[in-house]
Amino acid sequence: MSALPLSGIKILDLTRVLAGPLSAQMLGDLGADVIKIERPGTGDDARAFGPPYLEDPEGKANNNNSFYLCANRNKRSVTVNIAKPEGQAIIRELAKDCDVFMENYKVGDLKRYGLDYEAIRKINPGVIYCSVTGFGQTGPYAPRAGYDAIFQAMGGLMSVTGHMDGEPGAGPMKVGPSIVDYMTGMNTSIGILSALYHRKVNGGEGQHVDVCLYDTVIASLSHYAQIYLVSGRTPPRRGTWGNGGMPAGVFRCADGELMLVVGNDAQFARTCAVLGEPELATNPKFLRNNDRVVHGKEIMAIFAGLFLKNKVAHWLDELEKAGVPSGPVNDFAQVFADEQVRSRGMEVKVDHPFEHSLSLIRNALTFSGTPVTEYRYPPRLGEHTQDVLSSKLGYDDAKIGELKKAGVI
């Protein structure tokens, strides 16, 4: 079996919270050696984002919570105070040997410490320096800070998410998870991998990669944003209704709900037959998908009444036989109990010092020749400080002790 795709790539990760750490985690999953730099004492901001926390065997309070655990496996944690000159020197020494330098500080912050792109490039001309920010390195908003929900609001995502106007609870709504952070993490990984490839095939040239949440959320709106650019009209909120084929949405059944997406006219005809109303498929108002979009409220109301006549399992079984895409509305317990999810191994177990069999979510990429099989637990704060400073920089115990005493590490 071949080595992992990124074996040999060295990453110095100064990112915190979610978008940057998620990207560094993905690169670590793929074989990169990721050294995560954290503040002494407090660490990554995510460690303080609240419970649930892992239970310390000795009953002590700790900072290994779910928010941190989801984005920091396959890394080594090194604590360095970059506000101190000695800490800045440590980062520069580590940066001399890295392929990728990742950071998500506000624009200009690292320049004060001599850790900005120009400074790092002088000591490592081939470095891929990736900055992850809220608004990017340029533009009037560049100095601003921000979090996922702010970008869901500003970028237009909330304007098209939520119950339809006129329904109870109508109005802009945030998507539950920090989806913009996650997408930004993916874009960050794509940017870094592209820059690494460019360096490899173009003679060792490094560069500065600029990724931000605001750009990402706008780009992610895809066909929704394109509707506005073509027509000048913002698409309305559609609740659970689909975005193309109709009818599509959540339908209540006798004992729960299911999600249905009728993607074309043939599927519509088969769905009508499953529901016991085959003549609906020949009704001129519903004959073609464009017709069903125009008369969406009417066909959705008809389907709503029909689905109430039987249970979720019945309808899902019949729709599956008819080749119509549908699925249950699962909670997380049902997701991780699902036979497909279990078959794909989406829940992986790691041996954490606090929990022998800690569950994590596996990397979503599957390779035939270089499968991701190693999942090392998200490190405890500063767990690898001594090892890294000793093995990479040659610091002896006395020097490491002095740095600890001075609050540098």
Encoding tokens for residue 174? 């945030």
- Please, what's the b/e burial string for 286-318 (b: 16 or more CB within 10 A of its CB; e: otherwise)? beebebbeebbeebbebbeebbeeeebeebbeb
Catalytic residue, chosen from 13, 44, 116, 181, is 181
Say how many residues make up the chain.
409
Q: Which of 41, 49, 39, 48 is nearest to 14 (CA)?
A: 39
Q: Which of 118, 138, 145 is nearest to 129 (CA)?
A: 118
Q: Which of 82, 142, 141, 144 is nearest to 116 (CA)?
A: 82
Encoding tokens for residue 4? 């992992």
Residues 20, 375: Cα–Cα separation, whole Å: 19
Residues 113, 89: Cα–Cα separation, whole Å: 9
Residues 332, 184: Cα–Cα separation, whole Å: 24
Task: Kindly tell me the burial class for residue 282, based on how many C-beta atoms sit within 10 Å of its own C-beta (0-12, 13-18, 19 or more).
Answer: exposed
Name the DSSP letter for residue 284. G
Contact assessment for residue 400 and residue 78, using Cβ atoms and an 8 Å cutoff: no
Sign, CA torsion 321/322/326/328 = negative
User: Which residue matches tokens 């008819």?
Assistant: 322
Contact assessment for residue 158 and residue 131, using Cβ atoms and an 8 Å cutoff: no
Element (H, E) at 315: helix 312-321
Max Cα separation, the chain?
A: 85
Contact assessment for residue 141 and residue 135, using Cβ atoms and an 8 Å cutoff: yes
Encoding tokens for residue 166? 């006129």
Please confirm, yes or no, whether 181 is among the known catalytic residues: yes
Provide the annotated active-site residues: 181
